[in-house]
Amino acid sequence: MAGTTTGIDGDFGPATEQAAVNFQKATGMPQSGIVNQQLFDLLCDPMRIAFEKPLTANGLRQLVTQAAKQHLTNSPFELNYDNKSNMGPWVRSYMNMNEGTEWFWCMGFVQTIIDQAASTQNKDFRTLMPLTFSCDTVGTHGLNKGWLSRYTQVRNDPSVVQPGDIFLLQKSPNDWIHTGIIIGIGADTFETIEGNTNEGGSSNGNGVYRRIRNFRSSKLDVFSIGALV
């Protein structure tokens, strides 16, 4: 709406300058078109708040939920340039500075959230799961540890799931293609916050979204974070 979006080509040209002017106008700044420190800091504010605003909830599960909502509120999204998806500062922040079409970042988002919450309690999330960007690695680890409830068990007894747990969308019994944080449990559905998805629930979308997933019609295995609580 403010006219601050333009293509990415690595060059600060007239389009980028106009986008800077429009952003300055929208935020009440002098309209110089120059990206000075004040403007740069303002552009970085959403990421800074997402990662640095103190978490105040009691209990790890509540902290995980609060951290996920804090990121969601600041609208993490990926960029597309050089004919590549999964690019940009938000993706790099979740993926240990990796980016590019092959870097699906849903697990990177999940582990970032759990790490942020656990660190508030001086806990190391790597005692719960290995540091990885792979849903398969986390799913297999959960099976070996007895921390992964299969979707059939979840359907039979949804009480095994609690807020802060992680869903893994199953393609086959040992192949998972997407993940996210569960923040609420209903009779038939999970309320979730997920990275690398979209409004349609893609496993390779463009941002962080709040979604509703029906666990009775989707194969959603659930990894419990109870061992870290």
Give pLDDT, residue 20: 81
Q: Which two tokens stand for residue 154?
A: 């979840």
* DSSP string for the chain: --S------S---HHHHHHHHHHHHHTT--------HHHHHHHHHHHHHHHHSPP--SSHHHHHHHHHHHHHHT--B-EEETTEEEESHHHHHHTTT--STT---HHHHHHHHHHHHHHHTT--GGGTS-S-S-HHHHHHHHHHHT-EE-HHHHHH-GGG--TT-EEEEEEETTEEEEEEEEEEE-SSEEEEEEEEE-TT--TT-SEEEEEEEETTTS-EEEE--GGG-
More confident call, 229 vs 140: 140
pLDDT tens profile 172-197: 999 999 999 999 999 999 999 999 99
Question: Is pLDDT at 202 greater than 60 in this prediction?
Answer: yes
Candidates 147, 144, 138, 143; CA nearest to 168 is: 138
Q: Is 53 left (phi over 0), alpha (psi -120 to 50) or beta?
A: beta
Question: Is pLDDT at 142 greater than 90 in this prediction?
Answer: yes
pLDDT tens profile 15-59: 778 878 887 888 888 888 888 888 888 888 999 999 999 999 999
How far is it, in rounded angstroms, from Cα 16 to Cα 27? 16
Q: Secondary structure of 157-215 in the HEC alphabet?
A: CHHHCCCCCEEEEEEECCEEEEEEEEEEECCCEEEEEEEEECCCCCCCCCEEEEEEEEC
Question: Is pLDDT at 134 greater than 60 in this prediction?
Answer: yes
More confident call, 189 vs 229: 189
Give pLDDT, residue 2: 66
How far is it, in rounded angstroms, from Cα 42 to Cα 166? 33
Give pLDDT, residue 1: 52
Q: How much of the chain, in percent, has pLDDT values that exceed 90?
A: 79
- What's this model's pTM, rounded to 2 decimal places? 0.92
